Amino acid sequence: MSWDWISGTPLLAISSVILVVTIIFLRKLLVRAVLGLKSQELDHRRRWIVNIRNASLVALMLGLILIWAEPLRTIAVSFIALAVAAVIATKELILCISGAIVRAASKSYAIGDRIEIAGRRGDVVDQNLFTTTLLEIGPGQASHQYTGRAIVVPNSLLLNTPLINETFTHDYVLHVFSIPLNAQDHWQRSEQVLLEAAQIECGAFLEEARTSMKSMEGRHGLDSPTVAPRVTLQIPEPGKINLLLRVPAPSRRKGRLEQAILRRYLSEISKAAG
C-alpha cells in the first residue's frame, strides 16, 4: 500500500487554500454585480444571490474532492484492509457470538439441560456469548454418571454441529436400553421378567409421567408418546437377540432407574434359573 501522497500534502493544502480563496472572491464579485443591477426587481436579485451562493458551495465541494481524490481513495483502501484484517483476526469470536444468537433464537437448550454436542455429553451449568460449560456425563454414551470434569464448548459449534437435547421433554424423558441374549436363551421368559421389573420400578411415577408427556401437545403441538414400559426385539446378528426396553424416567434419574430395573431383572432371572 502506497503512502506517497503524504509527502505531497503541503501542495494539496496550498491548492485547497487557493481554491477556497478563488471561489470566495468570485462569489463576492458576482454578488456585488447582481446587487448593482438596479433594473432588476429585488426578488430576482435575491434569487440570483442565493443561486450564486449554492453554486459556489457545490463548486467548492467538487474542487476539494478532485484535489483530495487520491488521498481519500488511499485512506478508504487502508480502512477496508484494516476492517478485513480485524474480521479475520476475530473470526472465531464472531462465530461464537453468532452461535449464541442461534441458541437464543432457537431455544435449543438452557441451564440445567442435558445435551450432547460434538461427541461430548453433559449438563449445562453455564453459558455466555462465547462458550457453554458442561458438567461431563460418562464414560461413553450409555453412562449417566458425572465424571467430575467440566467441558467448555465454543458456541461456534452450534453453527455446524448437530446438537442433542436429552431433556427436551423437561421433567420426564423416554429412556431406552438393551439386554443382550443368545438365541438359545428363553427370550420370552426374559421379556416377561424385564417388562414386569420395569412396571414395578416405574409404577410410582407412571401417571405423573403420562401427564407431563401430555403437556407436550400444548407446548409443541406434538402427539404425546405412550409412556407405558415397552419391550421390543432386535436381532443385531445371527444367534443374538436384544431386548430393547423403553421406559419413562425422571430426567435426572435415568441412570438410577436403569440400574434398579436391571438389578430386579437379574435377581428374578437368577431365581428362575435356580
Q: What is the pLDDT of residues 141-192, one digit of tens each?
A: 667 778 888 999 999 999 988 998 887 767 788 888 888 998 777 888 989 9
DSSP letter for each residue of 221-238: --PPPP-S-EEEEE-SST
DSSP state letters, 101-130: HHHHHHT---TT-EEEETTEEEEEEEE-SS
Average pLDDT over residues 111-123: 87
**Quick one: pLDDT at residue 79?**
81
Per-residue burial over 9-32, b if 16 or more Cβ lie within 10 Å, else e, is eeeeeebeeebeeebeeebeebbe
> Do residues 152 and 143 touch, judged by C-beta distance below 8 A?
no
pLDDT at 3 over 50: no
Q: Is the pLDDT of residue 258 over 50?
A: yes
Q: Which of 46 and 133 is assigned the larger pLDDT?
A: 133
**Alpha-carbon distance 153 to 147, whole Å?**
16
Closest CA to 249 of 215, 194, 201, 191: 201
**pLDDT at residue 134, rounded to an integer:** 92
Q: Which CATH number fits domain 93-165: 2.30.40.10, 3.10.129.10, 2.30.30.60, 1.10.10.200?
A: 2.30.30.60
Q: What is the pLDDT of residues 51-108, one digit of tens each?
A: 888 888 888 888 888 877 777 777 777 788 888 887 787 888 888 999 999 988 888 8
Q: Look up the CATH architecture of domain 172-273.
A: 2-Layer Sandwich (3.30)
223 pLDDT above the threshold of 70: no
- Paired residues of 131 in beta bridges: 154
- Please give the C-alpha separations between residue 138 and each of 8, 135, 257, in angstroms, as whole numbers: 69, 10, 16
Question: For 25-56, how does the pLDDT look when each residue is reduced to its tens digit (9 = 90+)?
Answer: 888 888 888 777 766 667 677 778 888 888 88
Least confident of 70-74, 124-128, 159-163, 226-230: 70-74
Nearest-Å Rg of the Cα atoms of the chain is 39
Query: For cell 491548492, what's the residue?
Result: 15
- Tell me, what's the pLDDT at 155? 92
Residue 156: closest CA among 120, 121, 119, 130 = 130
| Bridge partners, 245 (sequence order) | 177, 231
| Percent of residues in the chain assigned helix, strand, coil, to nearest 5 | 55, 20, 25
- 220 or 203, which is more confident? 203
Instruction: Determine contact, residues 121/138, Cβ cutoff 8 Å.
Output: yes
Give the whole-angstrom CA distance, residue 273 versus residue 177.
23
pTM of the model: 0.54
Q: How many helices (H) and strands (E) does the chain have?
A: 8, 8
pLDDT higher than 50, residue 5: no
